[in-house]
Amino acid sequence: MRSVKRTLSIQDISCFGRCSLTVALPVLSAMGIETAILPTAILSTHTGEFKGYTFCDLTSEIPPITAHWKKEGITFDSIGTGYLGSDEQINTVSDIIDSFGKDALIFVDPVMGDHGRLYAGFADDFPAKMAKLCGKADIIVPNLTEAALLLGEAYVSSGYDEAYIHGVLRRLTDKLGCPVAVLTGVVYEPTRQGAVAYDARNDRFYEYFGENIPATFHGTGDVFSSSLCGALTLGAELTEAIAVAVDFTLDAIRYTLPERETYWYGVNFESALCDLAAKAKKINNK
């Protein structure tokens, strides 16, 4: 039996810009988890505010890579997905989950929108395709926009209460069939922001809030989801894992604030990795 947990992260590589795999790989590795990667595409930079970026679709490379892994008998303790750029990639990842996910924690971050809008390049039926993938997950981590898209409901940006958020989470697990849903970017009051989760298996809600910092940075969703997936892979309880992810994301933002103009393209999560690694070690030693 392996002494170190092994995870597979499936998403794109933006070679510059602190998002997707350039976040997931260092975060999960710092948490003491052996991390295999499966790039779905390579971009010169992320697509937020950069112009003229390059893009290379790697969908055709995925089946031979996973076929080789299958031949070698490689297994994973968890499988996490991030940005998937097409219906074909969703179908391919669904097949990977069928092949490698029997004894693995399946973690799906349904990256497809923010601020009430579907990302450019996605067809209107893309959320329905993503919903089917979410149905194969043990845990999904949408933001408020993605939750609305998955449910086919109107986006509510503010002014909601606990009853509304709890209702969204119940509807997600009921409609999609995943046992656990975590909703990120929840703000009940102006000074606090955090995440709320629902576990349909025991009909319980969990939440954790920290300071609401009035600033927007690229890649914070990737920072949150990577650290949450890592904590759960190590065996943390859901409530502890959410706290680890919220605190790590806040720490990364705080390190970035003094140099906002320099790091406008992403958060300085690297400076927060030592504290994250210490928390991960405590989880692993339990």
Q: What is the pLDDT of residue 47?
A: 84
Structure token digits, residue 102: 């029997």
138 has a pLDDT exceeding 70: yes
Q: Over the stretch 144-200, which tens digit does the pLDDT of each residue have?
A: 999 999 999 999 999 999 999 999 999 999 999 999 999 999 999 999 999 999 999
Per DSSP (E only), the strands in 137-241 are 139-140, 180-189, 192-199, 204-211
- Looking at every residue in the chain, the average pLDDT score rounds to 95
- Asked if 181 contacts 172 with a C-beta cutoff of 8 angstroms, the reply is yes
- Give residue 73's region: left, alpha or beta (phi > 0; psi -120 to 50): left
Query: Which domains does the chain possess?
Result: 6-284 (3.40.1190.20)
Residue 140 main-chain phi, psi, to 5 deg: -120, 155
Q: What is the largest CA-CA distance in the chain?
A: 53
Q: Over the stretch 45-59, which tens digit does the pLDDT of each residue have?
A: 988 888 899 999 999
Q: What is the pLDDT of residue 218?
A: 87
Q: Over the stretch 238-282, which tens digit does the pLDDT of each residue have?
A: 999 999 999 999 999 999 999 988 888 899 999 999 999 999 999
Residue 194 main-chain phi, psi, to 5 deg: -170, -150
Residue written as tokens 């933006």? 14
- Asked if 134 contacts 173 with a C-beta cutoff of 8 angstroms, the reply is no
CA triple 253-196-194, angle to 5 deg: 20
Q: What is the pLDDT of residue 1?
A: 60
Q: Which residues contact 250 (CB under 8 A, 6 or more apart)?
A: 210, 211, 213
pTM: 0.96
> Mean pLDDT over residues 125-139, rounded?
97
35 has a pLDDT exceeding 80: yes
Distances (CA, A) of 257 to 163, 175, 219: 33, 39, 14
Confidence of residue 201 (pLDDT cuts 50, 70, 90): very high
Q: Parallel, antiparallel, or unpaired for β 192-199 and 204-211?
A: antiparallel
Q: What percent of the chain has pLDDT over 70?
A: 100
Cβ neighbours, 10 Å, residue 260: 11
